[in-house]
Amino acid sequence: MKALKMTVAAVAVAAALGGAYSFGQLQTVASAHAAPAAAVAAPSAPLPGVAAAALPDMRGIVAANAPAVVNISVSGTRKTSVGVPQLDPDDPLYQFFRRFGGQMPQGRTPVQGMGSGFIVSADGTILTNAHVVEDADEVTVKLSDKREFKARVLGADKASDVAVLKIEAKGLPTVRIGASAPTQVGEWVLAIGSPFGFESSASAGIVSAKSRTLPDGSYVPFIQTDVAVNPGNSGGPLFNMNGEVIGINSQIYSRSGGYQGLSFAIPIEVAMNVERQIVTTGKVQRGKLGVSIQEVNQSLADTFGLARPAGGLVSSVEKGGPAARAGIEPGDVIIGIDGKAVNAAGDLPAAVALKSPGETTRLQVWRKGRAQDVEVRVGSFNDEKVSAAEAPSADKGRLGVAVRPLTPEEKRRADVAAGLLVEQAGGSAAKAGIQPGDIILSVNGQPVASVDQLRSAIASAGRKAAILVERGESRIFVPVDLG
């Protein structure tokens, strides 16, 4: 088992402090020194010079919203198969198992699970996580007043991990929908859910970070918090200090499978976009550029002449895709979309996903030392290829690679017109992450098809070079310090 793993568990996260306290009063934690017993007629004032710590009173938020948070239990079955036992080819059972493609006949294993959700309309529309209702044949929703309803799954979008349920009821309590965009790191947030089945449990913390890209490859720019979240919290709401939902608790990062201080929530803007489409059309569409991007670190920023590490570096462009038709090229750094800055690579997929297919968007692109605008007609998301990939770190040293041109068969398999196969890597190339088996496609945007072209490109690159390599099915720019 890996030392670190992503564990699906609901992340109910506490809300923003931000100076606005719509619910309740601020409490103060006084000095720990006790007054003499005879003088305890009234609370003693804090000692002079000792500052009292102000904490938000979240009782009003819980009282107002707990009735709209529901417990979800699911039951169903999942297909299973058993591997074939080691049999002699002469055994009569051998041919029987071969008929099933090396597997025993598929069966069905009972599946049961639980999670949380919250009511967004008084007529019974509920939001939760898609993974909560996955493989469910029957979904039961339990309200805070103990009433239970069978729920229909109107739709479940795996890409965002958002599902929409419907129960037949009227006059239900609802949450207030807010916005995650104004939320700042350090603000208080509150989660309500059913960890381990303990219904209507509240936990609080602060926003630890925003726009987190997780290893699951999702396009969602997660809100990271330190709110205590455990299995059963999945699908529950994350509130700010105005009592508004700003996210859906979705995942935790854990060694043990339980909460260890890292919780992640889906921004409410993403969730409500999915909810609107499922309710009105029964399906979800999202925008697509057709590019692979990676984070811009300091070395890449220096190489491309950017003032600071920011934006999404285009490492490959899908043939015939929206970006290709608009003229986007590998080596472009997308630094903005429709006038809004792209500070990190993870910001771009989320912004594009909110666009409607066919909509025209304006990208701010850094190309060859200057910024320019490029208009792109957004395509339709289908197994979106926009993903954030970490670039390897670079260390000082000399370039040291043994390369050869690709054979026609290697070009066909890699789907490239030309390139150089790395057979040995040493020096600064190896330190930067280039390894045998990589295919070098370009240096600082200049295609290389021969060893002489590579030498020439490196010679004119100065102290730094951005080398585009293909590794497996991915393309990334590797920043190399040539010294």
Query: Which positions are annotated as active-site residues?
Result: 131, 161, 234
In DSSP terms, 422 is beta-bridged to 403
Hunting for tokens 């349920």 — which residue is that?
165
Alpha helices in 194-321 (DSSP H): 268-281, 298-304
Distance CA 472, CA 316 (A): 13
Please say whether the beta carbons of 476 and 294 come within 8 A.
yes
CB atoms within 10 A of CB 379: 22
Indicate left, alpha or beta for 269 from its phi (over 0: left) and psi (-120 to 50: alpha). Answer: alpha
Specify the 3-state DSSP secondary structure of 18.
Answer: coil
Cβ 342 vs Cβ 312: under 8 Å: yes
Determine how many CB atoms are found less than 10 A away from the CB of residue 14. Answer: 30
Asked whether the beta carbons of 357 and 288 are under 8 A apart, the reply is yes
Q: What angle do CA 340, 390, 5 make, to 5 degrees?
A: 110
Q: Do 396 and 428 meet the contact criterion of CB atoms below 8 Å apart?
A: yes
Question: Residue 278 and residue 255: Cα distance in Å, rounded?
Answer: 35
Residue 418, classed as helix, strand or coil, is: coil
Cβ-in-10-Å burial (0-12, 13-18, 19+) of 30 comes to middle
Burial class (CB in 10 A: 0-12, 13-18, 19+), 164: buried
* Token pair listed for 413: 């398999």
Quickly tell me which residue has 């409607």 as its tokens.
356
